[in-house]
Amino acid sequence: MKLNGVLRNEITAYFVLMVLIAISLPFSKFTLTVFEMMLVFVWLIHDVSAKSNNSDWGHAIQEQSRVNHFFRRFGISLSRKLRLFFSNKPALMLTSLFALHLIGLITTTDFTYAWKDIRTKLPLLILPLIIASMPRFSRRQTQALLGMFVLAVFVGTLISIHLYLKRDFDDIRDISPYISSVRFALMVVFSFFLLILKMFSKPGIPFYLQLIFGIVALWFVGYLIILESVIGILSVFLIVLILLLRLVFRQSSWKIKVAILFSAMIFVVGTIGYIAGVSKKLSQHKPLDISKLDKFSKLGNPYRHDTIHFGVENGRYVGIYFAEGELAEAWNQRSNYDFYGRDEAGQLIMYTIIRYLTSADLRKDAEGVAALSAEDIRHIEKGIANREYLEKPGLSNRISKIITGYQQSIYLNDPSGSSMMQRVEHLKASFLLIKKHFWWGVGTGDIPEAFRQIYDEMNSRLKPEVRWRSHNQYLSFWIGFGLFGFIWFLIVLLYPFLFRLTSKDARLFVFWLIMLLSMFSEDTLETQTGVTLFAFFYCFFVLAAVPEPEQQRQSNDI
């Protein structure tokens, strides 16, 4: 009884630590590390004495020391766990990604970065090893862990909205204070679909719970819009389409198929129409008669009225009432950032000033600069080119930033000021590296240095502070480990689909889609939070959570 009690305590500790890891994902890398270390400890001591009985223990005391007996039982337990792990194909597949990083040390020259990267990738080894060799969770435990994760994400969004309402930020991404806004957005998307799937699960849940889940799900979508998360919104959009198409193929009634396809078409057309509307609003303007505009500033300096090169933003011509010399002198009196230099975002600050003054409906002269507050000056120095980015954040503003940034980068022949054009440069550099290191890659630790060199070789106009990696996990694996490493990475990613694991649980299918989509625009596995999110829920659904018969039938419907 005593030994059984110890065993139960170890299993309880294992479950509690798994819940704490899930809760930590939206909040803290530090607690993630602490709880993962504690999880390793619990795994090591689990089942060490489970197979001992009183007579066995007494015999051990007589023939050998307690310490020796402990290590004997420890070795037996560890051997059993390793056998369970090595007989589990999904766990081995995931762990092979960690092994790939070890193999990449063969071609590495920068071992300092290589070991740092390997430490980051440890969840790919630790979590499959532990979860594959521990008892599976019950239905109640599965629901509790997922519920606590969704609750943690919800609390995280409440904290973010509190920061948003205080308006104490320069970049909307700053309202995600604990982890990257991109990673947090992925968690919000996943939580949204967990709630939606639970709402339509069989057997049904009470109406009041459906109502609560529906409200929270809408809250999550609203949060993604406020966060201006293009990746998050696009993921929701694409996954909803995929689920609808999946539902079409599983339906026998042609009427239901037509209804679903019609709904999907409305969804697509509505989204395209929204983007087109934002783009049209951005370029709309009232007719302008230049002959009626003032020709001189109050200081007597001539205005330049340029309606061609600067374009229109938020219904205002950016290039009118522009007295360059006067504006430069007035700006330099109020800021240490030279008028012809760059702001903190790497953009030519002259154009940031011009756009900001336009958004504030001020003229580009000394009078306009004088009307700016100290806070406005600081916003410009940080690279914020439009007041509306701060006053009215949202998805429409994000689309506006992308379009305006693209237009400015084309006009100035400088991709540094546009996130979209930056990514184009990142992709160019990535493909050049793939061409140079096609078969074997550059190794685990040499990717940062390889990118630094290739940007110099291609004479990239990107500023050093935005000369980043590929922002594409697939390309990162090819660059790091060559063609064969890239192919193996794809095999590992597609394994759940190829072996129909995703058809057994709609939650795994949705999570799998979120991860696959995120890797097209982010190096999802290159941060501790990202790689833990991926490894944790992959292992949880494949190795720990037992699909319910009702859920399995429902997942087949969905």
Cβ pair 539, 94 in contact under 8 A: yes
Q: Is residue 339 part of a domain?
A: yes
Q: Is residue 364 part of a domain?
A: yes
Which pLDDT does position 549 carry in this prediction? 44
Q: Is residue 359 part of a domain?
A: yes
Give dist(CA 348, CA 339) in Å, integer. 8
Which pLDDT does position 514 carry in this prediction? 95
Q: Across-strand partners of 302?
A: 296
Q: Is residue 349 part of a domain?
A: yes
Which pLDDT does position 280 carry in this prediction? 66
The 8 Å CB, 24+ separation contacts for 366-375 are 366/297, 366/298, 366/299, 366/323, 366/326, 366/327, 366/329, 366/330, 367/297, 367/298, 368/321, 368/327, 368/330, 369/327, 369/330, 369/331, 369/334, 370/330, 372/334
Structure tokens at 256: 């239901």
Structure tokens at 233: 């919104």
Q: Is residue 435 part of a domain?
A: no
How many domains does the chain divide into?
A: 1
Q: Is residue 317 part of a domain?
A: yes
> Closest Cα to residue 540, out of 127, 213, 227?
127
Structure tokens at 515: 């991860």
Which pLDDT does position 248 carry in this prediction? 74
State the 10-residue block means of pLDDT for the chain, 558 residues long: 56 93 94 94 79 49 62 83 93 95 91 92 96 92 95 95 80 83 94 92 77 93 88 89 78 70 74 68 68 85 82 78 88 90 82 88 89 88 81 69 70 70 87 93 91 90 81 94 95 86 81 94 91 96 71 40
Which pLDDT does position 38 carry in this prediction? 94
Q: Is residue 367 part of a domain?
A: yes
Q: Is residue 320 part of a domain?
A: yes
Cβ pair 290, 307 in contact under 8 A: yes
Residue 298 structural domain: 290-392
